[in-house]
Amino acid sequence: MKNLMLAAASALMLAACSAQAPATDAPAETGTETAATEAAPAVTLADIVNSDARSAEEKARDPWRHPAETLEFFGIEPGYKVVEIWPGGGWYTNILAPWLASGGGTLVAAGFDIASVEDADRRARMEERLTEFKNAYADPRFGTIEYSAFSATSGPLTEPGTADAVLTFRNIHNWMSGGYTEKFFTDAFAALKPGGTLGVVEHRLPSTAMQDPTAASGYVHEDYVKGLAAAAGFEFVEASEVNANPADTADHPFGVWTLPPNSATSKADGTTIEGFDPEAYKAIGESDRMTLKFRKPE
């Protein structure tokens, strides 16, 4: 009798609960599906390369510079802290800054060291250009940009041991002419975290050609770059031919500047060459370039 009474009471309680909560076949909302539906689609590197943050003139050079493929080869991810050496007019900055910002990362623009310039007029012009550069990248879509400098006498590129990557695009020949190439590799090594990446793109001199220590032609031996990196403590990881141009013989009358985009028709002192045909060099396209990836050991 006691068991029958307990069973009846349980039945009454279940019936009461059923009456209070109307039946439904729909699953309970947790908010997860709604959030996933409303989340913005992930930004890709291709999206940024094709965005309106870049001019038509910049995009016209993509077939020679391969920015997306190059940054993918270097393993640059959103959220990284990346030091770009001598960004110039911002060709790569227009890609790197929004790409890093999409993951909350930081770009460190290490420009030319204005403090190392003695001429007051030249220094004033450089300060004006730097101000213009900073104003151009104050737009929130470029995220957080920090500023530093690099020269023969500059200090650290950034706080030591904090960068995920240090990148340089076609600059090593400039430092060879200035006599402080070794300092770049030392400074980059100090800036990087253990396991961090050094990415180098540079005009490539054929291994059969004689290397000018000042790189007056703008071309540099690949083995020379590897040797400097190894001397600074880097491990060589891999080379890519993504920026190669087999049509470039690297023996042009006005050095690498004979080729596009400079398409020089005379030397810096105004010297010309009789019968020079600039169209022949435009047909070659931009220079043959090494693309090298190094790692700071763990």
pLDDT digit string, tens, across residues 34-66: 444 455 558 899 999 999 989 999 999 999 999
Q: Among 246, 252, 235, which residue's Cα sits nearest to residue 288?
A: 246
H-helix segments, 137-257: 172-178, 181-191, 222-231
The structural domains of the chain, ordered by start, are: 50-246+288-295 (3.40.50.150)
Angle formed at CA 137 by CA 161 and CA 184, multiple of 5 degrees: 35
Comparing 35-44, 78-87, 152-161, 263-272, which segment has the lowest mean pLDDT?
35-44
pLDDT at 164 over 50: yes
Please give the share of the chain, as a percent, with pLDDT higher than 70.
86
- For residue 41, the model assigns a pLDDT of 59
Please state, rounded to an integer, the average pLDDT across all residues of the chain. Answer: 89
pLDDT level of residue 21 (50, 70, 90 thresholds)? very low
Q: How many CB atoms lie within 10 A of CB 284?
A: 16
d(CA 73, CA 75): 5
Mean pLDDT of 170-179: 97
> Which structure tokens are listed for 8?
């009846």
Backbone torsions φ then ψ of 112, nearest 5 degrees = -65, 140
d(CA 219, CA 288): 9
Question: Tell me: the pLDDT tens digits for 195-212?
Answer: 999 999 999 999 999 999
d(CA 201, CA 84): 12
Full-model pTM? 0.86
d(CA 251, CA 282): 14
d(CA 218, CA 211): 10
Question: Tell me: the pLDDT tens digits for 242-265?
Answer: 999 999 999 999 999 999 999 999
Question: Tell me: the pLDDT tens digits for 219-240?
Answer: 999 999 999 999 999 999 999 9
Which residues sit opposite 200 in a β-bridge? Answer: 168, 292
pLDDT level of residue 25 (50, 70, 90 thresholds)? very low
